[in-house]
Amino acid sequence: MTEQGNKGDALHSMVHRLEDKVYRPSGFWSYSVHQLLIHLKKEKFDSAPRALGFDTEGNEILSYVTGDVYNYPLVGAIATTEALCTAAELLRDYHDATASFVQSDQFGTLRWLLPNREPREVVCHGDYAPYNVALNGSKVVGVFDFDTAHPAPRVWDVAYAVYCWAPFKTHSGDSLGDLTEQTMRARLFCDAYGLSHEDRVCLVETMISRIQTLVDFMHEQAAAGHEGFIANLKDGHDVTYIADIKYLRCHKKPITDYLILSADHSTHR
Ligand SMILES: Nc1ncnc2c1ncn2[C@@H]1O[C@H](COP(=O)(O)OP(=O)(O)OP(=O)(O)O)[C@@H](O)[C@H]1O
Ligand SMILES: [Mg+2]
């Protein structure tokens, strides 16, 4: 099973490309995402799609982000240390580029798919996983799928990203290496991002809250009749997430000890 539970798998099959444009089903959050993408372009962050408007069939139109794409299980270029570290660097650049957007006058009027979390430091991508980036060789050069973008602290996004990239996943189709290797990869991600000491201390607990929030969201959406999430629950995605929470709880201490082990955790690269 590959984990793509943030919005249910139903949308996936409806994404299509025509030459250099990508058409994706839009939702109430898409206008906000387009404002975000316009802001990123102004900030000279060029690794995200450009917002090209909406068609008459309810699709958003985006520029195509060039690169190779992957999914779980992580094999080949996507599983390398270079991919891991460049992914973390790109997330840092993305967050830094969104900080001024959060401060802008228009920001308070925008609506997002996922609830805001305080403090609103940045606009989190919300699903910064190996299946939502583009690679050139082993280097992560692009990011797409901003449907789950929402304002929150940086560590909220880093926590979910580390969960997906370490990955601290217990399902055999998603896992990579043992706890030691996962913990080393988590540390490399935090170092490449430039995550602060205090954020590292709470990282495992934040991962657990973030995954629990996703499980709750899946249940809410399924109860509201959203087919993608109903199918996800039928396939046991929530059970897998809950197993991952248990795994993180069980190994919280050795993971955290290694994340904070003697380093200059500067918040700026
Ligand atoms: N702007 C883009 N540039 C390049 N490729 C894209 C872009 N948007 C989507 N894709 C491709 O289409 C696939 C599905 O797109 P996307 O991740 O946006 O869909 P989704 O169904 O919302 O995803 P998920 O399954 O992650 O919830 C991606 O894996 C990627 O290969
Ligand atoms: Mg995606």
Per domain, the residue ranges of the chain are: 12-260
pLDDT for the residue 177? 92
pLDDT digits (tens, 9 = 90+) for 193-242: 999 999 999 999 999 999 999 999 999 999 999 999 999 999 999 999 99
pLDDT digits (tens, 9 = 90+) for 139-174: 999 999 999 999 999 999 999 999 999 999 999 889
pLDDT for the residue 259? 98
Tell me the percentage of the chain whose pLDDT exceeds 90: 90
Class of domain 12-260: mainly alpha
Which residue, judged by its Cα, is nearest atom 28 of ligand 1?
132
Q: Of all atoms in ligand 1, which is nearest to the CA of residue 24?
A: 18
Which residue, judged by its Cα, is nearest atom 22 of ligand 1?
12
Distance 69 CA to ligand 1 centre (A): 9
pTM of the model: 0.94
Nearest to 81 by CA among 173, 175, 186, 171: 186
Return the number of other C-beta atoms located less than 10 Å from residue 131's C-beta: 18
Nearest to 191 by CA among 91, 112, 100: 91
Whether the pLDDT of residue 1 is over 50: the answer is no
Find the residues whose C-beta lies inside 6 A of ligand 1: 4, 6-7, 11-12, 15, 22, 24, 49, 62, 64-65, 69, 131-132, 144-145, 147
Tell me which of 144, 146, 148 to substitute to probe ligand 1's pocket, judged by most ligand atoms within 8 Å of the beta carbon: 144
